[in-house]
């Protein structure tokens, strides 16, 4: 038996990266899955792969920042399977910019997709979850816990997700609804590629610095986030709600200092 047998899950941003890995894992664990993405071919391809592997999935094109799309993705899920048990608000964007050069439209777009998108997903999913209980999961970030240079709008949106998650956990526990968020560190996804320098020397420096910022000496893979999402959406985490869970290879454990020669506490890097 799978850990999500009989459950219906809606996952946004499921056409690629962490969302795609999570959708496929949820299906393997018995869930019926709505694969939601604003790039329709990506959603269709992922859903087709899942169905070919014996899963039960539908593809839904939606811009999570638009109320009509958010309402429709929930309605389409209910129309297909008659219920909703899990919503995983995973869709997000994160262009690099500085406050004094950022167009107002860019700030609005990032906040609308990343934070308003979580609000809208919850707004339309919660009435269904309130009927029988369920799980709200969202993708925040280590950048919502600590600041990240060059990402003021992204950091603000992810910090907002953490606070919103706590309030949802408090307000809806009476309906047997749990709410948590995952805070990934550096993960090898298409979004992460946007931060990488194009020249070989700069790219190598970026890899060295980024990997070194994680205690485990590497970035994470989408499948590692998927396994954390499975834990938080299954009964294995039945007594966990209202928390931001770092899945970050030790990125946010603390600041590392350069110590004198012979210091024995230097972390071992995995290659």
Considering only CA atoms, which of 99, 106, 183 is closest in space to residue 137? 183
With respect to residue 257, please indicate whether it lies within any of the assigned structural domains: no
Residue 56 belongs to what domain range?
A: 8-192+221-247
With respect to residue 128, please indicate whether it lies within any of the assigned structural domains: yes
- Lowest mean pLDDT, pick from 145-154, 173-182, 196-205: 196-205
Catalytic residue among 88, 124, 154, 172: 154
- Is residue 270 scored above 50 in pLDDT? no
pLDDT tens digit sequence for 4-17: 999 999 999 999 99
| Cβ atoms 227, 161 nearer than 8 A | no
Cβ contacts of residue 92 below 8 Å, gap of 6+? 13, 113, 114, 117, 139, 154, 157, 158, 191
Dihedral over alpha carbons 188, 168, 74, 65 (to 10 degrees) = -60
Residue 107 DSSP symbol: H
The Cα angle at residue 170 between residues 87 and 86, in degrees rounded to 5: 15
What percentage of the chain carries pLDDT values higher than 90?
Answer: 82
- 154 given a catalytic annotation: yes
pLDDT tens digit sequence for 107-132: 999 999 999 999 999 999 999 999 99
pLDDT tens digit sequence for 21-65: 999 999 999 999 999 999 999 999 999 999 999 999 999 999 999
* Total domains in the fold of the chain: 1
The pLDDT of residue 268 is 45
1 confidence band (pLDDT: 50, 70, 90): confident
What is the rounded CA–CA span in Å between residue 202 and residue 196? 8
Beta strands in 187-259 (DSSP E): 244-247
With respect to residue 269, please indicate whether it lies within any of the assigned structural domains: no
Residue 194 DSSP symbol: T
212 confidence band (pLDDT: 50, 70, 90): confident
Burial status of residue 45 (CB atoms within 10 A of its CB: 0-12, 13-18, 19 or more): middle
Cβ contacts of residue 216 below 8 Å, gap of 6+? 249, 250, 269, 270
With respect to residue 268, please indicate whether it lies within any of the assigned structural domains: no
- Is residue 267 scored above 80 in pLDDT? no
The pLDDT of residue 256 is 76
Looking at residue 146, which CATH number applies to its domain? 3.40.50.720
Element (H, E) at 58: strand 57-61
Classify the phi-psi angles of 242: left when phi > 0, otherwise alpha if psi is within -120 to 50, otherwise beta. Answer: left
With respect to residue 232, please indicate whether it lies within any of the assigned structural domains: yes
264 confidence band (pLDDT: 50, 70, 90): low
The pLDDT of residue 269 is 47
Report, in angstroms and rounded to the nearest whole number, the Rg of the chain calculated over CA atoms: 19
């Amino acid at each position: 038996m799978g850990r999500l047998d009989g459950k219906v899950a809606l996952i946004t941003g499921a056409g690629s990266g962490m969302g795609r890995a999570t959708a496929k894992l949820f299906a393997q664990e018995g869930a019926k899955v709505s694969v939601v993405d604003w790039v329709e071919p990506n959603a269709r391809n992922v859903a087709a792969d899942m169905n070919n592997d014996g899963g039960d999935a539908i593809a839904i094109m939606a811009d999570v920042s638009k109320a009509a799309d958010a309402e429709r993705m929930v309605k389409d899920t209910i129309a297909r399977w008659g219920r909703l048990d899990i919503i995983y608000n995973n869709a997000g964007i994160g262009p690099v910019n500085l406050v004094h050069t950022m167009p107002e439209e860019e700030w609005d777009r990032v906040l609308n997709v990343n934070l308003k998108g979580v609000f809208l997903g919850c707004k339309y999913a919660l009435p269904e979850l309130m009927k029988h209980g369920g799980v709200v999961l969202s993708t925040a970030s280590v950048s919502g816990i600590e600041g990240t240079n060059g990402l003021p709008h992204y950091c603000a949106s992810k910090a907002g997700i953490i606070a919103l998650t706590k309030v949802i956990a408090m307000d809806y526990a009476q309906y047997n609804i749990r709410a948590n968020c995952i805070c990934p560190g550096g993960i090898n996804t298409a979004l992460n590629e946007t931060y990488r320098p194009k020249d070989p020397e700069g790219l190598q420096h970026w890899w060295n610095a980024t990997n070194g910022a994680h205690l485990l000496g590497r970035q994470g893979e989408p499948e590692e986030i998927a396994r954390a999402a499975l834990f938080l959406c299954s009964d294995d985490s039945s007594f966990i709600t209202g928390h931001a869970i770092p899945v970050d290879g030790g990125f946010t454990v603390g600041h590392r200092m350069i110590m004198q020669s012979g210091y024995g506490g230097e972390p071992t890097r995995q290659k």
